[in-house]
Homo-oligomer: A and B are copies of this chain.
């Protein structure tokens, strides 16, 4: 194997990659000069948001009270600047053309910054719910430091806000970052109420059209999924139809239960572990395994 052969293989491979038919199928979808959405950058945004919301727990662990305000200001500025670019990249990514994506991105990013205190309040309630539901937890501090649900809900609530502002793709990347970290996969389109918690969490799936009330608790391995989905005339799945479960207030779903389809689990119902549910469950019911 001499250098010339290596050169030839390299040249052939580069050529072949540049002219590959699949290029048409996997278009970069970017217009001239624009950056693609970047998972790396969004990861930084997520870390900054966590550090702003839970200072000392995330980000720099040495911060002092007397400069908390300066640090928050700097982090907020950075969140704002990174999000402006990423939101614009998201708005320019799809096939629908938006006028002035750059201006719209600035508006949405600023709304997001403005939303941070509400995000903090919502997450504070989630932390409290996790604490109340676990006898092993020794304090709020342990929840924030060690419970994957905090990371998953932080990303989900951030992503849901951006999803509601009409940003494509970026919200999905944000929830997938949490999926990768925690094994909890929540679609940003799902609607989740206050005081929500997930214990352990690995393997949880919450689908796009789920609606979840207040004070709901679920365990590891729970799937809130679609049972099936209608196809259009061409045999392709029809997008956007409600197809995931509704969980009303105070529902508990134990580990590895699977709930499929647009059904309703009534208020205060309890679904036992490893249960398979495809029909609605009335208020207050206890559904448990009998094997």
Contact = CB atoms under 8 A, between A and B. Distances in A.
A161 interface: no
A99 interface: no
Nearest to A174: B146
Contacts of A139: 29, 94-95
Contacts of A20: 117, 120-121
Nearest to A19: B117
Instruction: Give the residue among A32, A69, A240 with the most B Cβ atoms within 10 A.
Output: A69
A138 B237 CA distance: 11
Interface string A3-32: 111110111111011101110011111101
A66 B13 CA distance: 14
Contacts of A268: none
A2 to B, nearest CB: 9
B72 A169 contact: no
Interface in A132-166: 132-142, 144-148
B237 A207 contact: no
By Cβ-Cβ distance, the 8 closest A-B pairs, closest first, are A70-B73, A22-B124, A135-B237, A38-B61, A7-B66, A16-B117, A67-B77, A36-B61
27 contacts: A3-B64, A6-B80, A13-B113, A14-B69, A14-B76, A17-B52, A18-B68, A18-B69, A22-B121, A25-B124, A26-B54, A39-B145, A40-B61, A67-B74, A70-B74, A135-B241, A135-B243, A136-B239, A145-B169, A145-B172, A180-B182, A202-B203, A203-B203, A203-B221, A225-B255, A256-B258, A274-B274
Interface of A: 1, 3-7, 9-14, 16-18, 20-22, 25-30, 32, 35-41, 52, 54-57, 61-62, 64-74, 76-77, 80, 89, 93-95, 103, 106-107, 110, 113-114, 116-117, 120-121, 124, 127-128, 132-142, 144-148, 168-169, 172-173, 176, 179-183, 185, 187, 189, 200, 202-203, 205, 207-208, 219-221, 223, 225-226, 229, 236-241, 243, 255-256, 258, 260, 273-276, 289-291
